[in-house]
Structure 1
Amino acid sequence: MRALLAMPSELPGRMFDDLQLTRLAALGEIDTRRTVPDLAAAEDESLAEVEVLLTGWGSPCVDAAALARMPRLRAIVHTAGTVRFVVSEAVWERGDIVVTSSTAANAVPVAEFTLAHILLAGKRSLAQETDYRRSHEVGRPAGAGRAVGNYGSVVGLVGASRIGSLVAEHLQRFDVEVLVTDPYVGAEEIAALGATKVEPEELYSRSDVVSLHAPDVPSTRGLVSRELLALMREGTTFVNTARPALVDVEALREELVSGRLCAVLDVHDDLADDDPLWDVPTVSITPHIAGSQGNELRRLGEHALEEVRRLAAGEPPRHPVDPSRREREA
């Protein structure tokens, strides 16, 4: 099986450790020291024999021109999440190319990050730390808004995506009620996650923490509207590890600057230096760190390595991308 690393030259060293690269090299004809960051510039001879492409962040798009030079291509193994910037419509139209993604692997650290912040939000950690820094007094009341603590609290998850589902599964270990809103997932499937399916209005009005886990597709732009944010009770927390385009940013800013709501924002459009959100003590702003970083990238590489092993052994892929769902998945 002839495979090719179609990605930036520095990426394999980030996604795979030495042992993983050795295992990859043993699965077929692949030079793990060679990468092809630009398919258009690759030699016709090398592309003509390729059966499997390994791609990742910054990989070239596999378009119709590239496909014409790879008649034997039968699989694209993506070491990252979304494939929409790598896999063109021409790939789906050909119909005989398996596409896999490491989205499930990348969901793990995002779900861990989200879980941590949901539990901290239950303790009103940001508000209590702010008050303590000002007063230096232990045991002061946490201030206005809902009661402090996670016992019996309500967590609302917007989207039963891979990440949203994994967060719901994690929350089964805690004494919290989990609500989920997702138009594409049935009540029974959500119940299997230990959660209850509800309409958006109920979720926002009842939840102590609302966490966003919907994909960034045209149908979800502005999903978190001004009206829904207004339903959240004073002192509750909004968590966004998805994408800023899903939220009415101006409405959210108003709610946060006023102090009525708290937030954890790991994704956001570039904030101006004078954006008032920088100075709101009950808003956590992090630079998109929830997803895989550092040694967590090895998990993505391991998922991709398993897919290559399955291809070499003639086994079905573990995490194929379903082309029929691409309009509603990131």
Structure 2
Amino acid sequence: MTVATPGPGFRPRTAFAMSREAAAAVLDPETLDALAAICDLAPPPVLDDLTTPAARAVLTDVDLLVTGWGCPPLDPDVLEAAPRLRAVVHTAGSVRHHITEACWERGIEVSSAAAANALPVAEYTLAMILITGKNILERARDYRATRTRDAWLRTPRTVGNHRRTVGILSASLIGRRVIELLRPHDIDVLLYDPYVTDADAAELGVERVELDELFARGDTVSVHTPLLPETRRLVGRRLIEAMRPGAVLINTARGAIIDQDALTDAVVAGRVRAVLDVTDPEVLPPGHPLWDCDNVVITPHLAGSQGNEWRRLADLAVAETARWASGAGFLHPVRRERLGFQA
């Protein structure tokens, strides 16, 4: 079998593998036109089941797969049906659900839009840090109930964002972007990440601390670590109980990183506040106490790319496809050796 090499004039045979809903969200007509200018696109429909005869016929001559949410695993059987497949461009963040060991063993190159998806998550986090620092949600609720302005000159000095201390758990792509967004504000930033050195922390402009200190000193602690075996329930009862009275715990990572029972006890008792874009399970049972806590904000896993933000993912996928086809390689590669540290 003769296989062309990426370089000037190379047009990779390309197919889409993701759920129909993901394709409708991310692959707008303009994106499809941009990809068609670079690639020879397999005809629709998008591949959401890679075991069917129709899918296997498409995979036979595919050089590159553009994947997204709902992509089935690219296991050995799939790869056997796709002998020419050499690259995967993922239009979302984590590739854990579909890139298998068989992909790495073949040497398939993988790109992810994790860097693009990190931006809205960081923006959500910044917004929640500033909103909770000013106690805006609670004060708006009270204002609606009383229709009377509070005694604002008696506002406690614990309210406000001047010299507030924010702890960042993990210098991930999102964690680093949050740190960057916090720079214009008068906020002291702490960081816990066992893989970050003092020199790295100085370059980021943060104070590197141990995990216990992060929770003991932070007025707000924001969780950005990936869910790995060693991070499951990492934020346990001891850390939560060490938080300052009225401190805020923000989680936009994965629900299972936090001991949810311990957090529930703390917020029900009124000791801490929480902003949870993820829970464990997702969605919480209807009768779970967290639903009824006035000091908890629960959002439906919306911090990541949604609506017009999907275009950022699509644009990155187009750019990565163009780079790979030209022979320049990916700008946002996923490295096999880094999977143990990534979402």
User: Structure 2-normalised TM-score?
Assistant: 0.91
Compared CA separation, residues 293 and 278, structure 1 to 2 (3 A)? same
Contact 2:13 2:42 in 1 (8 A): no
**CA–CA separation in structure 2 for the residues paired with 1:29 and 1:205:** 56
**What's the CA shift for 1:326?**
1.1
What are the ranges of 5 or more consecutive residues in structure 1 without an aligned counterpart? Answer: none
**CA–CA separation in structure 2 for the residues paired with 1:146 and 1:256:** 21
Q: Which moved more, 1:295-304 or 1:160-169?
A: 295-304
Q: Which moved more, 1:120-129 or 1:164-173?
A: 120-129
1:92 corresponds to 2:68: no
**In the alignment, which residue of structure 2 is the partner of 1:191?**
202
1:168 corresponds to 2:179: yes
**What's the CA shift for 1:13?**
2.7
- 1:59-70 equivalence runs, <5 A: 59-70=71-82
- 1:139-178 equivalence runs, <5 A: 139-140=150-151, 147-178=158-189
2:40 match: secondary structure: coil
**In the alignment, which residue of structure 2 is the partner of 1:285?**
298
**CA–CA separation in structure 2 for the residues paired with 1:212 and 1:109:** 15
Letter of the aligned partner of 1:23 in structure 2?
A
Could you tell me the percent identity over the aligned residues? 45
The alignment covers a number of residue pairs equal to 329
- 1:101-116 equivalence runs, <5 A: 101-116=112-127
- 1:15-30 equivalence runs, <5 A: 15-30=26-41
Contact 1:92 1:323 in 2 (8 A): yes
**CA–CA separation in structure 2 for the residues paired with 1:61 and 1:201:** 38
What are the ranges of 5 or more consecutive residues in structure 2 without an aligned counterpart? Answer: 1-11
Contact 1:130 1:282 in 2 (8 A): no
Superimposed CA distance per residue, residues 267-296 of structure 1 (whole angstroms, 9 cap, x where no aligned partner): 112322222222211111111111111111
Superimposed CA distance per residue, residues 183-203 of structure 1 (whole angstroms, 9 cap, x where no aligned partner): 122222232222111101111
User: Structure 1-normalised TM-score?
Assistant: 0.94
Compared CA separation, residues 185 and 82, structure 1 to 2 (3 A)? same
Superimposed CA distance per residue, residues 226-274 of structure 1 (whole angstroms, 9 cap, x where no aligned partner): 1111111111111111111001111100110111111111111232222
**What's the CA shift for 1:42?**
4.0
Contact 1:74 1:97 in 2 (8 A): yes
**In the alignment, which residue of structure 2 is the partner of 1:266?**
277
1:83 match: secondary structure: coil
Compared CA separation, residues 45 and 135, structure 1 to 2 (3 A)? closer
RMSD: 1.8
Contact 1:146 1:235 in 2 (8 A): no
Contact 1:158 1:164 in 2 (8 A): yes
Superimposed CA distance per residue, residues 81-115 of structure 1 (whole angstroms, 9 cap, x where no aligned partner): 11111111111122x21011111111111100000
2:249 match: secondary structure: strand
**CA–CA separation in structure 2 for the residues paired with 1:48 and 1:122:** 55
